[in-house]
Amino acid sequence: MVTYIRTDSTRVSVDAQNKALAYIEATYGKDYVPAKPNFYKSKKSAQDAHEAIRPIDINRTPDKVKKLLDAKHYKLYKLIYDRFVASQMADAKYDNVVVNIESGEYGLRASGKVPMFAGYTVVYGNTVSEEEDSKILPDCKEGDSLTLKDILSEQKFTKPPVRYTDSTLVKTMEDKGIGRPSTYASILGVLSGRKYVKKEGKNIVPNEIAYQMTDILVKFFPEIMDIGFTASMEDKLDDIENGGKDWKMLIGEFYPPFATQLIKASRDGDELTDIPCEKCGQFMVRRTGKFGKYLACSNYPSCSNMRSENIVLSQEKCEKCGAFMAIKNGKYGEFLACSNYPKCSNIRSTNEEKSDQKCEKCGEFLLLKNGKFGKYLSCSKCKTTKSLVEVQLVGVCPICKKPTKKMKSKGGKDFYGCSDFPNCKFMSLDEPTGENCPKCGKPLVYDKNRNIKCSAKDCAYSPIGQEEK
């Protein structure tokens, strides 16, 4: 319904402009058609590969398409349509008026304007802002007598600049040559996604981390934080695109000093501790990151070890990588986790014991562990597990004819399941007989009185001459 939505070009094709002028004359009259077609100069940084954003068909008015769109898309289309039509119309005309008022020995003056021709504002229903409305003076002529209605006194204070909104921030970036239309949304997303700012109504309000981050950036990267840096860099990138600059030379000039400052900035505020690094023995430094304080090796970049400040290291070493195991608390109690996480994700329980049983698969000794449903055996090598609860085999599975197991659920209730699970997923609260119902084909089971019944609730099958056992 509209042309390419991500361009900031103001160029309009001759064909689209001629159709718009014909529509304006037919709808509003010849007076609203400009003497010569309006032409708007695009900015130097505009992406001019596409036309300006406009309706595909000027005759496809917002009223005609309203029933085809949801509320948000309708408002957006109406905004684009009205702006395009208004941009091709004649200017509005006003008379600038100054009224001198004599009141005894005092002189008063009011300046404003009187509308003479609505021009393009007719598209918006002749609506004006509150600020513009205050500048429109009533019709008056020399010699008119005025009546004093009221005297208003107002004390004025110097006000701080108003806070940015999404739209005013984008407008400022546009004026400063920062970013492109395709990047404005992602910039706003980063500001809110990383919690640099919060919203109070429409206003963007910085959080404390924004001030801290700005102080660090200004301290270590004054050239980059200069308002003209981004615009200058984008000009250089345009030069590369146009073949006038070698990108390797540009990166070679920029990156080495930037990398040096980056290391300095990363160490700003480091607090040296007496905690030795478990990898190289150098002392750790305390730093503040996105998720709070953490410890990092002072021997960086030779040693990149880092860990949470709250981790308590045990004397046991990880059997996979040799790093010390950290003592942690989880959902099921205390456990050991490798301090080399995320490079090594090895974990094990703190209360496991070596049993006298061996794994049936690999021959290693099984470890006695505590789990969600109590104690169990687990192989330290191949992770094969074995329950300590002796399973009672009862009856035959009516589906695959394998033995069924009598087990207890998490709530302590008895239930029956096929011993060939997960290949066969038969399960029942009642003991199966091993046969199927002749009426519906569902498994037959014993009830609490050992009578045979169908497991299907809507099946009333009962064997003839059945006696209670």
Closest C-alpha among 44, 61, 34 to residue 8: 44
What the block records as the tokens of 175 is 């004026």
The span from the CA of 317 to the CA of 219, in Å, is 42
Q: Contact at 8 Å (CB) between 416 and 406?
A: yes
Angstrom distances, CA of residue 218 to CA of 196, 266, 351: 16, 14, 52
Our answer to whether residue 23 is catalytic in this structure is no
What the block records as the tokens of 447 is 């009830």
Write b or e for each residue in 324-355: b if 16 or more Cβ atoms lie within 10 A of its Cβ, otherwise e.
bbbebeeeeeebbbbbbbeeeeeebbeebeee
29: alpha, beta or left, given left = phi > 0 and alpha = psi -120 to 50?
Answer: left
The span from the CA of 105 to the CA of 126, in Å, is 40
* Torsion angle of the four alpha carbons 30, 35, 41, 47, in this order, in degrees rounded to the nearest 10: 40
Number of other residues whose CB lies within 10 A of the CB of residue 265: 14
7: amino acid identity, one letter:
T
The span from the CA of 130 to the CA of 142, in Å, is 27
Question: Which residues are the active-site residues?
Answer: 4
